[in-house]
Amino acid sequence: MESLRYLLSRFLQSLFALLCIITITFFLARLAPGGPFLDEKAVPEHLIEQMKRNYGFDKPLPVQYGLYLGRLVQGDLGPSLGNKGFTVNEVIAEGFPVSLMLGVSGLVIALFIGIPVGVVAAAKRNTAVDYFLMAFTMLGICLPTFVIAPLLGEIFALKLGWFDVAMWENSSAWFLGAATLGLYYSAYIARLTRGSMLDVLSQDFIRTARAKGVAPATVLFKHAFRGGITPVVAYLGPALAGLLGGSFVVETVFGLPGLGQHFIKAATNRDYWLINGTVTVFAVLILVMNFLVDVLQGWLDPRTRGHK
């Protein structure tokens, strides 16, 4: 009952956060200077007026906001001003799976590399292994994605020919993209894991377990791991948000047809509905992730349940 009420309140908070995000982006995009109908050629004033009327931009902004929310509730994200003849729903349905795929596989790669590296570094702390691993992760943090991405492309795709360089369909280029993203975040996760594992390993119950003669591997994985992993779980939400943003860079480098290109174009051309639609979809994803993370955290560490 208690936990049910907690989940419900977290859910309502997420909804409220979503509303805030939608509102912020709506007004942020609309109040930006310039407009969607500017062209290099001079467009006659009356045509612009007519287009504005067509899209309902002539009404006061709060009214437009209300109308937008109304359509949003029905799942209609509106027409795309930059991609003539397409609705925002169609544009997102096309690009979002690519970005999501990149982000999620990047996250999986990051977890599969980062957590073991962090655990090993913590178990062997202050040894050559530890120093080597930590220096290596530092390298991963400092070399930006957009340096790693072309390098990986050059080595594995052009020189070795293991992967295709670009294109999405029936192609392996996405793997290099996901690896680029994953390597960067695995460095963060490794450092996070190492730090929290060290915290846990210095606690009394670990000393007790060791004193009782529990095998070191058992102490590490059965006693310490569950506590040591909690900060990593908490980091999953921000990580996914970062991965989705980072996928914009990777998409640019490898020429993948994700939402990144559409979104950058939408922002520079003031494609209002596409901007809002993309932010809404990303925000929903991040909030769902944060919600799951909270639930998972409560399961991992019962002490966090009561606080909220």
Measure the CA–CA gap between 138 and 155, rounded to whole angstroms: 22
Q: Does 27 bind other proteins (CB under 8 A)?
A: no
String of contacts with other proteins for each residue 224-263, x by CB under 8 A? -------------xx--xx-xxx-xx--xx---------x
Q: Give, as ranges, the residues between 158 and 197 that touch other proteins (CB under 8 A).
A: 158
* 270 near other proteins, rule: CB under 8 A: yes
Q: Per CB under 8 A, which region of 48-56, 72-80, 223-231, 266-274 contacts other proteins?
A: 266-274
Residues 82-121 that bind other proteins (CB under 8 A): none
141 scored as a contact of other proteins (CB under 8 A): yes
* Total residues at interface with other proteins (CB under 8 A): 53
Dihedral (C-alpha) 47, 48, 50, 53: value to the nearest 10 degrees?
170
Question: Tokens at residue 268, please?
Answer: 């520079």
The HSE-up count of residue 273 (CA atoms within 13 Å, CB side) is 26
User: Are residues 184 and 140 in contact, defined by beta-carbon separation less than 8 angstroms?
Assistant: yes
Give Cα separations from 63 to 16, 55, 60, 128, 198 (angstroms): 20, 13, 5, 64, 55
Of 90-98, 139-147, 163-171, 297-305, the segment contacting other proteins by CB under 8 A is 139-147
89 token code pair = 């729903």
Q: What CA–CA distance (Å, rounded) separates 16 from 202?
A: 40
- Number of other residues whose CB lies within 10 A of the CB of residue 179: 22
**Based on the number of CB atoms within 10 Å of its own CB, is 10 exposed (0-12), middle (13-18) or buried (19 or more)?**
middle
Q: Per rule CB under 8 A, is residue 306 in the interface with other proteins?
A: no
- Among positions 287, 293, 297, 298, the unique one binding other proteins when judged by CB under 8 A: 287
What phi and psi, each to the nearest 5 degrees, are found at residue 231? -60, -30
Q: How far is the CB of 46 from other proteins (least distance, A)?
A: 26
Among 83, 89, 90, 125, binds other proteins (CB under 8 A): 125
**Comparison of 113 and 287: residue with beta carbon closer to other proteins:** 287
> Least distance in Å: CB of 212 to other proteins?
26
Between CA 53 and CA 50 the distance in angstroms is 5
User: Would you say 90 and 160 are in contact if contact means Cβ atoms under 8 Å apart?
Assistant: no
Looking at residue 43, the DSSP 8-state letter turns out to be P
Q: Which of 13, 64, 171, 172 binds other proteins (CB under 8 A)?
A: 13
- Residues facing residue 79 across a β-bridge: 87
Closer of 169 and 261 to other proteins (Cβ): 261
Judged by CB under 8 A, which of 48, 51, 198, 233 binds other proteins? 198
Of the residues 50, 54, 61, 154, which one makes contact with other proteins according to CB under 8 A: 154
For residues 30 and 56, the answer to whether their CB atoms sit within 8 Å is no
**How far is 287 from 17, CA to CA, in rounded Å?**
8
Residue 237 Cβ vs other proteins, minimum distance, rounded to whole Å: 7
Indicate which single residue of 47, 93, 108, 147 sits in contact with other proteins (rule: CB under 8 A): 147
Residues binding other proteins (CB under 8 A): 13, 16-17, 20-21, 24-25, 28-29, 32-34, 125-126, 131, 138-139, 141-147, 149-150, 154, 158, 198, 237-238, 241-242, 244-246, 248-249, 252-253, 263-264, 267-268, 270, 275, 278-279, 282-283, 286-287, 290
